[in-house]
Amino acid sequence: MNPGVHADLVHGPLAQWAFSRGDAVAIRSAARTVTFSQLHAAVTRRAADLALAPSIVVVDATLPMADRLVDFLGIVASGRCAAVGDPDWPVSVRDAVRASLPTHPAPATSATPQSPFYLGYTSGSTGQPKGYLRHHASWTSSFRACQDAFGAHASDCVLAAGRDAHSLFLFGMLLGLWTGGGVVVQEQFSALRALEVLRQRRASCLIAVPSQLIMMVEVAKRRQLAPVQGVNLILISGSRWIRARTDELRALFPGARIVEFYGASETSFVAWMDTDTAAPIPVVGRPFDQVSVQIRDPDPVTGVGLIYVRSPMLFMGYVGGPTDETAALRDGDWLSVRDLGYVDASGYLCLTGRQSRMVVTKGKNLFPEEVEAVLEAHPSIADASVHGVDDALRGRVVVAVIKTKDTPDCAAVSALQLTHWCQQHLEPYKAPRQYWVCQDWPLTPAAKPDHRALGQALACLGRNTTDPCLPCLRLLP
């Protein structure tokens, strides 16, 4: 990249790409393509229209995805901060979020690396979204970390498999534009359309969450599709990758390097690893360069404590919405998103679970993520969600909700078989005492399992077994 380009701003390289490769496709969707020359011109026009806008401008969620991305960049290029909400928010939530933002016109200023450019939202325990603020340098540092860790293919054209309301996918979109590789976007995730984009070699770097990759694998199996050539790099984040399914993913994308990375909306990158089917479940990789990790208040026996990180990629702080037990903790330059874990003897960061999901049962700490990983490694199970539910005799007992695989070669499974499976891989107290099946698996807007909805459904069952919150729930015999 030309040193004269403002590479410390997320939109900074657009002028260079418009000059040096203006006819190359910057944004591709099913409806349209936008070249770098067209993108730069549209962003410049949008920035000029915002001369009397407030300091934070909401991206128009009614626009098609490609136009939303142009709108986002125009807001940022004006020196303002772009707020990206979820198009699926109820009207009451949307109104509450807008009411929390400034409305008075702000004078136009030139962006600096420390200027806020992005206001994203993450859900909290109260249901009211929490806004988190990012400055330019936190993401341009992340772009460079991506290139340093994953090599030249991190600058390929990116297929961002989800919508801009999820920071992982917005990051992927901006990475493709910042590097000059370009980006392919979808209005709604479609496994079949994503496979077609990759098969046509429209993109060669894929950024996705595990559920999307599993859907792609299963669609390819059902339709007996040939392996997809030309995919160089697959970046997986958002939730734990089910390593037992790595061989299926490699068979579908035989030329791809498959990388898992761990991070959060507030931290960006923390640790990464090339996926390894032999790696222990808790391992999430080694810290990225420029990332330091501390384990605070570790348990004297297990070594598990709160994970704190320090890096140039951290967020600025929260904006609006209540602060609750899901909010990140700050201690000077250090930040914790309340994940618990430890560093093993080889220097790998190991994640045991989120503090808010920890269950105390039989006087011991249990991390649902560990049990879920074991269940999802079972050949008949596609997804798992583990919860602690109140029990008059035992206080709290462990219950699992599962989704079974919908494939012809998938054998039926019983609760007793699953208990034996868990006991082969876990301490006996960690094996769920009850299993519920839910084939209509709820997902968050970020395509992650909606553990909260499943937990609420289990609580609902405890109050009235004839009227579950999720009608699909049935007890596994």
Phi–psi pair at 262, nearest 5 degrees: -110, 135
**Residue pLDDT, tens place only, 327-369:** 899 999 999 999 999 999 999 999 998 887 878 776 677 888 8
Residue 261 has pLDDT above 80, yes or no: yes
247: which residues sit within 8 A by CB, 6+ positions away?
277
How many angstroms separate the CA atoms of 282 and 237, rounded?
Answer: 14
Tell me the two tokens of residue 284: 């999430």
Instruction: Give the mean pLDDT of 252-276.
Output: 97
**Residue pLDDT, tens place only, 274-321:** 999 999 989 999 999 999 999 999 999 889 999 999 999 999 999 875
Residue 4 has pLDDT above 60, yes or no: no
Considering only 187-191, 206-210, 298-302, 461-465, which range has the smallest mean pLDDT?
461-465
Per-residue confidence (pLDDT) for residue 459, from 0 to 100:
79
- Specify the higher pLDDT residue, 128 or 286: 286
**Residue pLDDT, tens place only, 428-466:** 888 999 999 998 888 876 677 888 888 888 877 765 544
Residue 380 neighbours by CB distance under 10 Å: 17
How many angstroms separate the CA atoms of 198 and 212, rounded?
Answer: 14
Residue 381 has pLDDT above 80, yes or no: yes
**Residue pLDDT, tens place only, 12-25:** 999 999 999 999 99
Can you list the domains of the chain with their CATH numbers?
Answer: 14-353 (3.40.50.12780), 358-475 (3.30.300.30)
Q: What is the CA radius of gyration of the chain?
A: 23
Per-residue confidence (pLDDT) for residue 461, from 0 to 100:
73
Residue 5 has pLDDT above 70, yes or no: no
Residue 125 has pLDDT above 50, yes or no: no
